[in-house]
């Protein structure tokens, strides 16, 4: 006989249970509503893509692609029962790209792939898309950091890189955050230049870093060669003073990038959006150009970035499309929820009516009224088996119902219902019509 064993969710993944899941749904629903008022449409994307899509767009030297992707071969080689990741020593390019697949670590690359694949550049105006769903990164799990986490993101693709687009995207984001009650919101913005000025700055930064190499930790030392911008992301306390002495991108932007950034700041002011400039905000992914931004919120400890994003004007072309401008962001839903739950989460309507029926004659009436109430949108619990009256009311209370609808033989005989409000015991006898009207008026109040 096989030994009994209990299963647990895999490290870094978790279940989101009711009632929390209702709050998550409310958050995602609110995001959809807000984004749709800005003209964005939902795009549903695959959960896995060719690894090469992520390697080319996010960058092979980034932590996300280099260390954190869940990658497998499809079909698995040698009929292995479990697919194995490609050997780390073999470059991915040695393998047939279409057979090396990764769970998506983010969705911008997929959106751009879909934009090109479906010829969306022929659509009128800017193409505005949003997505909602899980992402996968093999990170060290901690509060606010998971291996399966959720993002709500939006992207604008088209021919214009007007800073007004960047500002409107940020406005939309902040409208959402305000609507869901996130507190202590801080928006940080930066410009990391374009393909003209950024490489020159990166070289300058690299030589600046070479001069202080001995004082840096192993990770930063390695990044001097692979990705010097990432050194600016360092959170190591002993590196902070050194980083402050390094050349800043804002002093090395080309004229066009400087003008773009200045206009963005004007556009933010026009919209009454408060922001702080942060020259070290380079973001971890290679595809960003010019505008980068991050939003932090209350209650998140060290993982306090609730949203990150920026411009990626070269990405469509890099992935084989026409020259196209792009900007987008991704909100970390797990973190947004943590922040909302630490603050004052809204009280969502739960169970409305618990039908406390007793006696075989009451049962058909209970079934009928439960169905009618549900048709009117009321959440109803109908016990499948007869329960003693006291037990019924006890359970109604434990389930958090607002009302108990009492149906006994008396009620059936008189064709009425007794509705008891559980918060204060208020009790009234009502006909079916009056009951429906009463619940409707209570719902509106
Ligand atoms: P990124 O795609 O890295 O720009 O991240 C965008 C946002 O997603 C971050 O600001 C976080 O809120 C969230 N996020 C990124 N990685 C994780 C993770 N491992 N767990 C939870 N949230 C994450």
Residue 321, pLDDT above cutoff 70:
yes
Coil, helix or strand at residue 421: strand
Residue nearest to atom 18 of ligand 1 (CA): 145
Q: How far is the CA of 430 from the centre of ligand 1 (A)?
A: 52
Residue nearest to atom 11 of ligand 1 (CA): 332
Are residue 428 and residue 284 in the same domain, yes or no? Answer: no
Are residue 332 and residue 372 in the same domain, yes or no? Answer: no
Q: What is the average pLDDT across 286-312? A: 90
Atom of ligand 1 nearest to the CA of 105: 2
pLDDT of residue 87: 52
Atom of ligand 1 nearest to the CA of 330: 6
- Give the HSE-up count for residue 59: Cα atoms under 13 Å, Cβ half-sphere: 15
Are residue 404 and residue 283 in the same domain, yes or no? Answer: no
**151, 291, 298, 304, best to mutate for ligand 1 pocket (most atoms within 8 Å of CB):** 151
Are residue 54 and residue 183 in the same domain, yes or no? Answer: yes
Q: In this structure, is residue 138 part of a structural domain?
A: yes
Tens digit of pLDDT for each residue in 264-275? 999 999 999 999
Residue nearest to atom 5 of ligand 1 (CA): 308
Q: Which residue from 189, 179, 177, 190 is spatially nearest to 298, judged by alpha carbons? A: 177
pLDDT of residue 418: 96
pLDDT band for 396, please (50, 70, 90 cuts). Answer: very high
Which residue would you say has higher pLDDT here, 188 or 302? 188
Tens digit of pLDDT for each residue in 333-366? 999 999 999 888 888 888 899 999 999 999 999 9
Are residue 318 and residue 372 in the same domain, yes or no? Answer: no
Are residue 303 and residue 430 in the same domain, yes or no? Answer: no
pLDDT of residue 343: 84
Does ligand 1 come within 6 angstroms of the Cβ of 310?
A: no
Strands (E), 139-208: 148-158, 186-191
Are residue 405 and residue 280 in the same domain, yes or no? Answer: no
pLDDT band for 92, please (50, 70, 90 cuts). Answer: low
Rounded to two decimals, what is the model's pTM?
Answer: 0.91
Instruction: Give the end of a domain, one of 342, 361, 377.
Output: 342
- Alpha-carbon span 23 to 177, nearest angstrom: 14
Tens digit of pLDDT for each residue in 114-170? 999 999 999 999 999 999 999 999 999 999 999 999 999 999 999 999 999 999 999
Atom of ligand 1 nearest to the CA of 335: 12
**16, 230, 285, 308, best to mutate for ligand 1 pocket (most atoms within 8 Å of CB):** 308
Q: Which residue from 399, 305, 380, 335 is spatially nearest to 24, judged by alpha carbons? A: 335
Residue 93, pLDDT above cutoff 70:
no
Are residue 406 and residue 265 in the same domain, yes or no? Answer: no
Judge whether 397 and 416 are in contact, CB under 8 Å. no
Q: In this structure, is residue 207 part of a structural domain?
A: no
Q: In this structure, is residue 103 part of a structural domain?
A: yes
What does 6-64 look like in DSSP terms, one character per residue? -----TT-----TTHHHHHHHHHHHHHHHHHHTT-EE----SEEEHHHHHHHH-TTSHH
Instruction: Give the end of a domain, one of 312, 342, 372.
Output: 342
Residue nearest to atom 21 of ligand 1 (CA): 145
Judge whether 245 and 212 are in contact, CB under 8 Å. yes
Judge whether 169 and 156 are in contact, CB under 8 Å. yes
Among 170-174, 233-237, 375-379, the range with the most confident prediction by mean pLDDT is 170-174
Instruction: Give the end of a domain, one of 310, 342, 374.
Output: 342
Q: Name every residue whose Cβ is closer than 8 Å to that of residue 17 and which is 6 or more positions away in sequence.
A: none
- 292-313 in b/e form (b: 16+ CB < 10 A) is bbbbbbbbbeeebbbbbbbbbb
What is the domain range of residue 331?
20-196+253-342
Which two structure tokens, joined as six digits, stand for 122? 């022929």
Does ligand 1 come within 6 angstroms of the Cβ of 334?
A: yes
pLDDT band for 79, please (50, 70, 90 cuts). Answer: very low
Coil, helix or strand at residue 152: strand
Tens digit of pLDDT for each residue in 409-438? 999 999 999 999 999 999 999 999 999 999
Work out the angle at residue 336's Cα, subtended by the Cα atoms of residues 312 and 138, and round it to the nearest 5 degrees. Answer: 65
Are residue 290 and residue 149 in the same domain, yes or no? Answer: yes
Q: In this structure, is residue 180 part of a structural domain?
A: yes
Q: In this structure, is residue 32 part of a structural domain?
A: yes
Residue 84, pLDDT above cutoff 70:
no
Are residue 295 and residue 425 in the same domain, yes or no? Answer: no
What percentage of the chain carries pLDDT values higher than 70?
A: 95
Which two structure tokens, joined as six digits, stand for 249? 């991108």
Q: In this structure, is residue 230 part of a structural domain?
A: no
Residue 82, pLDDT above cutoff 70:
no
Angle between helices 255-270 and 163-179 (to 10 degrees): 40
Are residue 107 and residue 66 in the same domain, yes or no? Answer: yes
Helix or strand holding residue 219 (H, E): helix 218-226
Residue nearest to atom 20 of ligand 1 (CA): 145
Q: In this structure, is residue 4 part of a structural domain?
A: no
CA torsion angle for 101, 107, 111, 112 (degrees, to 10)? Answer: -70
Are residue 28 and residue 109 in the same domain, yes or no? Answer: yes
CATH code: domain of residue 316: 3.30.930.10
Q: In this structure, is residue 29 part of a structural domain?
A: yes
Total tally of structural domains belonging to the chain: 2
Residue 89, pLDDT above cutoff 80:
no
């Amino acid at each position: 006989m096989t030994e009994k064993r209990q299963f647990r969710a895999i490290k870094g993944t978790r279940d989101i249970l009711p009632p929390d899941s209702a709050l998550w749904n409310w958050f995602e629903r609110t995001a959809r509503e807000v984004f749709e008022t800005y003209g964005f449409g939902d795009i549903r994307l695959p959960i896995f893509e060719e690894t090469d899509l992520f390697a080319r767009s996010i960058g092979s030297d980034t932590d996300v692609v280099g260390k954190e992707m869940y990658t497998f071969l499809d079909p698995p080689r040698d009929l292995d029962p479990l697919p194995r990741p490609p050997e780390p020593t073999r470059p991915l390019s040695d393998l047939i790209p279409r057979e090396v697949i990764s769970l998506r670590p983010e969705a911008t690359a997929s959106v751009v792939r879909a934009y090109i694949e479906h010829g969306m550049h022929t659509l009128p105006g800017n193409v505005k898309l949003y997505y909602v769903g899980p992402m996968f990164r093999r990170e060290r799990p901690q509060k606010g950091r998971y291996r399966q986490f959720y993002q709500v993101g939006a992207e604008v693709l088209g021919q214009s890189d007007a800073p007004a687009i960047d500002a409107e995207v940020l406005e939309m984001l902040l409208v959402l955050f305000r609507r869901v009650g996130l507190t202590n919101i801080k928006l940080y913005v930066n410009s990391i230049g374009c393909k003209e000025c950024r490489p020159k700055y990166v070289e300058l930064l690299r030589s600046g870093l070479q001069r202080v190499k001995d004082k840096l930790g192993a990770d930063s030392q390695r990044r001097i060669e692979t990705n010097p911008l990432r050194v600016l992301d360092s959170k190591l306390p002993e590196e902070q003073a050194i980083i402050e002495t390094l050349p800043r991108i804002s002093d090395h932007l080309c004229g066009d990038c400087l003008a773009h950034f200045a206009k963005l700041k004007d556009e933010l002011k026009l919209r009454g959006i408060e922001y702080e400039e942060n020259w070290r905000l380079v973001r971890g992914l290679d595809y960003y150009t010019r505008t980068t931004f991050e939003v932090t919120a209350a209650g998140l400890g060290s993982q306090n970035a609730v949203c990150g994003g920026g411009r990626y004007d070269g990405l469509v072309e890099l992935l084989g499309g026409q020259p196209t401008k792009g900007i987008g962001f991704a909100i970390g839903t797990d973190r947004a929820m943590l922040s909302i739950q630490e603050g004052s989460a809204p009280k969502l309507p739960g169970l409305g009516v618990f039908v406390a029926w007793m006696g075989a004659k009451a049962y058909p009436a209970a079934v009928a009224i439960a169905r009618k109430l549900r048709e009117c949108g009321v959440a109803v619990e109908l016990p499948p088996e007869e329960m003693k009256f006291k037990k019924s009311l006890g359970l109604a209370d434990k389930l958090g119902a607002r009302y108990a609808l009492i149906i006994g033989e008396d009620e059936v005989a008189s064709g009425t219902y007794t509705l008891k409000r559980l918060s204060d015991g208020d009790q009234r006898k009502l006909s079916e019509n009056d009951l429906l009207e009463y619940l409707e008026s209570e719902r509106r109040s």
